[in-house]
Amino acid sequence: MLKDFFMGLSQNQFLNSAAKKYGLKLGAQSVVAGTNIDEAIKSMKELNAHGISCTVDNLGEFVFKEEEAIAAKENILNVIEAIHENNVDAHISLKPTQLGLDIDYTFCRNNLREIVDKASRYDIFVNFDMEDHGHLPQTFELLDELSLEYDNVGTVIQAYFHDAQEYLEKYKNFRLRIVKGAYKEPAEIAYQDKQEIDANFIKLMEWHLLNGKFTSIATHDHHIINHVKEFVKKNDIPLDKFEFQMLYGFRKDLQLKLASAGYNFCTYVPFGNDWYGYFMRRLAERPQNLNLVAKQVFNKKTNTIIGVAASAFVLGRMTKNAKKKRR
C-alpha cells in the first residue's frame, strides 16, 4: 500500500512544483547531491577519492515545453563540460522525457544528439535511463538511431517487465544497466511479486555477464551482491566486465567496502532542483526510507523552522493517508 501511495505522489505535478520551493529541506538532501553543478562535482570528487566512479543525473521531469527541454539540454552540456574540466571519473545518465520526448520525437532526438556528440568528443559515456512502459518504444528507437552514429551510448533493462529478456538479447552488445524497475506497471506486462522480480533480475544479470559487453548491476541487496561474487568467480568472469551500482546516499558502508575490495563500483549521483519525483520513487522502492527523512527533517543544523514545519506537515499527511489505505 505504501509503495502505491508514494508512486502516486511521485506523479503529482502540483506537489512537484511545490517541493521546488523548499529546496532539499524535506529530507531529500540525504539522497540528492545538491542543487547545482558545483555541489554535484564536489560530491563526485569525494566518491572518486574512494575509488568510486559516478553516473550523474541532472534531475528533471514533467517537461512539456520546448524552452524547458532546451534548458535541460544546456544544463547537461554544462555537466559534461564540468566533468571534463575537473577530470572527474563520471558519465551521464539522462531521461529522454526531460529533453522533450513528450513534446516531439525529432526535437528530442536533436537535443540528445547534441549531448551525445559533445560527450563523445570527451570520451564520456551517456546512459539513456528507462522510464515507464509508455516511453520504452521511443527510447529504444532513439538508442537505435544514435548508436548508428556514436558508440558511447547505452541504456537500462528493467527486470520487472515480462519481455526484459528479449530486449537484453537485442542490446547485448551495448553497455547495459540491469535494474529491478522503479515505476508502477500493470500486471499484464510486469511482475508484481518481489520474489519474481528478484529472480528475473538475477537471470538477466547472469545472462548478460556471460554474453554481453559490460554489465552495470544496480542493486542494494547484499544477497544478490554475494550471489554475483560467487557467479563471476565460478564462471571466470573478469572484474573489468562489470560494475556494481548503487544510489547516492544509500548503503554507503557497503559501497566503500565493495570498492576497496577491488570491484568496479559506480554511484548514481542525482542533483538539481527537480528532485521530487526521484525522491518519491526512492520512498516507494523502500518505505523504510521514511526513517531517513525524519532524521533529516529534525536536524536543526540543516533545516530552517519553515523547512521543519513544511516537512512535518507533508510527513503527517503521508502517514495519515497511508493508514487509510491499509484499512
- What residues are labeled active site? 129, 177
* Fold that domain 33-274 belongs to in CATH: TIM Barrel (3.20.20)
Indicate if the pLDDT at residue 292 is higher than 90. no
pTM for this predicted structure: 0.81
Residue 187 or residue 316, greater confidence? 187
* CA 62/CA 98 separation, integer angstroms: 7
> What does the block give as the cell for 212?
554481453
Range of lowest pLDDT (36-50, 133-147, 235-249, 305-319): 305-319
Residue 58: the pLDDT is 92
Residue 247: strand pairing partners: 268
* CA 74/CA 131 separation, integer angstroms: 21
Q: Which of 185, 248, 190 is nearest to 220 (CA)?
A: 248
